[in-house]
Amino acid sequence: MQRFLARRLVHGVIILIGLSILMFTLLVLTPGDPVELMAASNPDIRPEDVAMLRQYYGLDDAMYVRYFKWVRSVLKGDLGYSRTYGTPVTKLVVDRLRNTLTLLATSVAVAFTVGVTAGVYSALHQYSATDYVVTVAAFAGLAMPVFWQGIVFILLFAVWLPWFPAGGMMTPGVAPGWPMVLDRLWHLVLPVSVLATSGMASWTRYMRSSMLEVVRHDYVRTARAKGNPERVVINRHALRNALIPIITLIALSVPGILNGAVLTETVFSWPGMGLLLFQAVLGHDYNVAMAVLLFLALMTVIFNLLADLAYGLADPRIRYD
């Protein structure tokens, strides 16, 4: 296990280095830069001021020089300074990270609970009306783009039926305590529904297929032949084995849900890292964009590793040594 972890950690570091080079290159090659935005918003700025700002921010340096300066700062624990927000990037990311983790954790919990439950029920009632409804709903959830679904949900449930707020994270002026908690939950309903849909749909389909395969095995028939109640047969003998491939799928899907938060947070104006990334790219705030992109890449590497470890814990037949 230790050799496996060491090898995977080395691979992860190499992947992060390669991704950081790619992301930095794409950001730098994006048309425009912060000084051009300043000049466009201030027609009275002088050419010598533009040249001085470009030299101050290092925009005239070669790309590799700028990249190594950024790497040197990151290795010192300094993610830089946000020109857009006028605050250190570390503080900005930490403040937004809590909001994104709240949205992500709630979405994963909802998607897992609904997806696994629907998949198991659909498998145990194969070819029933409920099975067909669940199948159609799952395919619809997989087919709908996140941004389109978000706009439709706002139109349906915030405009036509004003049940939920169209955006934001809280209502101004809400009293602390339970009123604030309920208000946050109220604002979470629409973005969580949109963000959880794709994971919920895919996990439902995989859980149904896995459960259908497991319930036909001999050990399940043996458990029934011993006179065990159906609830015991399903929960103790079938469900655990059916969850083995789902564990890997869930761990691999979490980074995808986190990446989907970029669109979801933008549509619903949720003040998290996804919206921060969108605004940073538009504003050519390279330090903020690189910090958020590197965090997304790090989460992808970590959850891939967790998927491998969880698969080994769920299936004793798997050995890493």
Residues 13, 115 within the same domain: no
pLDDT digits (tens, 9 = 90+) for 21-76: 998 888 888 777 677 766 666 777 777 767 777 777 677 777 888 888 888 888 88
Residues 33, 68 within the same domain: yes
Average the pLDDT over 212-218 and give the result: 82
Strand-strand pairing, 87-88 and 81-82? antiparallel
Mean per-residue pLDDT of the chain: 82
Give me the percent of the chain exceeding a pLDDT of 90.
Answer: 2
DSSP codes joined into one string, 71-98 = HHHHHTT---EETTTTEEHHHHHHHHHH
Q: How many domains does the chain have?
A: 2
Give the pLDDT of residue 313. 64
Tell which of 88, 113, 139 closes a domain: 88
Give the pLDDT of residue 223. 77
Query: In the structure, what pLDDT confidence band is assigned to residue 202 with cuts at 50, 70 and 90?
Result: confident
Residues 63, 110 within the same domain: no
Residues 40, 169 within the same domain: no
Give the pLDDT of residue 318. 62
Tell which of 33, 62, 88 closes a domain: 88
Our CA angle for 278, 301, 315, nearest 5°, is 135
The two structure tokens encoding residue 273:
């890292």
Residue 231 covered by a domain: yes
Whole-Å CA distances, 283 to 142, 224, 287: 32, 63, 11
Give the whole-angstrom CA distance, residue 198 versus residue 256: 9
Q: Which amino acid is at 266?
A: T
Give the whole-angstrom CA distance, residue 146 versus residue 151: 9
Give the pLDDT of residue 185. 87
Average the pLDDT over 222-240 and give the result: 77
- Domain of residue 20 covers 2-88
Max CA distance (Å), the chain:
88
Residues 43, 78 within the same domain: yes
pLDDT digits (tens, 9 = 90+) for 81-100: 887 787 888 888 888 888 88
Residues 100, 72 within the same domain: no
Of 186-195, 200-209, 221-230, the range with the lowest mean pLDDT is 221-230
Give the whole-angstrom CA distance, residue 115 versus residue 99: 24
Tell which of 67, 88, 109 closes a domain: 88
Taking 70 as the threshold, does the pLDDT of residue 320 lie above it?
no
